[in-house]
Amino acid sequence: MAVVDPLAPTGSGAVVGAGPYGRAVLEVLLPRRCAVCAAPGSALCGPCTSRLPPAPDREPPVGLDDCWALLAYDGETPRLVAELKFRNHRDVLSPVSRALAHFVTGSPSAVNSVTWAPTSTRRRRRRGFDQAELLARGIGGRASTPVTGVLERVSAGAQTGADRDHRLLGPAFRATAPVAGHVVVVDDVWTTGATLSAAAATLREAGATRVSGLVLAVRP
């Protein structure tokens, strides 16, 4: 699916929900900087955007009808992901969510809802947010599609930094509410696909008839 210049800076405010005066004050105190090179002015500057590598073609993980990725986890992409995931660089959510929303609005099969593969409770408490949830809510808002938090993580193991054998075991999820139709499940990085497969299995048990994955980046 073609996405034309999806990450071009839009000049939108850095703080979701802040009024014009609040944004102006915050931008004086905390001026926006590029998540990759730290140059002031925008969440993602033009030169860094042009260097972000597009996602390669890859077969969807087991249990998903399709899986869409915006970027390859290579070059400048790991820095972008780290800024969002570990440093709460939230102003990058606007251009990233706008780009990812193209996959939802352009899906050949109409999407009924967007959800996410949640991180562990421990990690959410430590960071104060769940990056997959932030992405999902941004995507749903851009795509005018309902966002529902219907998955709950029940395994304690973290995937970040784990070896391939551990990752292939995947986390476990349970559904907290029924779902219907075509559901898109969002995650930040697709490595082995175990997390997305586990999420898809749970969503199907909860009533989904079609499950698509949507990620910011995929490891080649």
Q: What is the CATH number of the domain that holds 80?
A: 3.40.50
Amino acid at 154: V
pLDDT at 102: 98
Q: Of 117-121, 157-161, 191-195, which one has max mean pLDDT? A: 191-195
- 101-to-44, 60, 168 alpha-carbon distances in Å: 17, 19, 28
Domain count, the chain: 1
- pLDDT at residue 141, rounded to an integer: 97
pLDDT greater at residue 167 or residue 46: 46
Tell me the per-residue pLDDT of 86-125, one tens digit each, with 9 for 90 and over: 887 888 999 999 999 999 999 999 999 999 999 877 777 7
Q: Print the domain residue range for 203.
A: 51-218
Residue 61 lies in a domain: yes
At a CB cut-off of 8 Å and minimum separation 6, what does 138 contact? 93, 94, 96, 97, 100, 101
What confidence score (pLDDT) does residue 31 get?
A: 58
Residue 24 maps to a domain: no
pLDDT at 9: 38
pTM beyond 0.95: the answer is no
Confidence at residue 12, expressed as pLDDT on a 0 to 100 scale: 35
| pLDDT attached to residue 156 | 52
Q: End-to-end distance of the chain based on CA atoms, in angstroms?
A: 18
Distance CA 190, CA 196 (A): 8
pLDDT of residue 78: 96
pLDDT at 10 over 60: no
Residue 183 lies in a domain: yes
Each residue's pLDDT tens digit, 23-56: 555 444 455 789 999 998 889 999 999 999 999 9
Burial class (CB in 10 A: 0-12, 13-18, 19+), 144: exposed
Residue 179 lies in a domain: yes
Tens of pLDDT, residue by residue over 178-191, are 999 999 999 999 99
Taking phi over 0 as left and psi of -120 to 50 as alpha, with beta for the rest, 181 belongs to left
Place of tokens 């839009």: 10
**Whether the Cβ atoms of residue 152 and residue 118 lie closer than 8 Å to each other:** yes
* HSE, side-chain direction, 13 A CA sphere, residue 144: 3
Q: What is the pLDDT of residue 17?
A: 42
pLDDT of residue 59: 96
Q: Is residue 32 part of a domain?
A: no
Does residue 38 belong to any structural domain of this protein?
no
Which DSSP symbol is given to 8? -
Please give the mean pLDDT across all residues of the chain: 84
Q: pLDDT band for position 15 (50/70/90)? A: very low
pLDDT digits (tens, 9 = 90+) for 128-153: 889 999 999 999 999 999 999 999 99
Distance CA 145, CA 96 (A): 16
Length of the chain: 220
Asked if the structure places residue 3 within a domain, the reply is: no
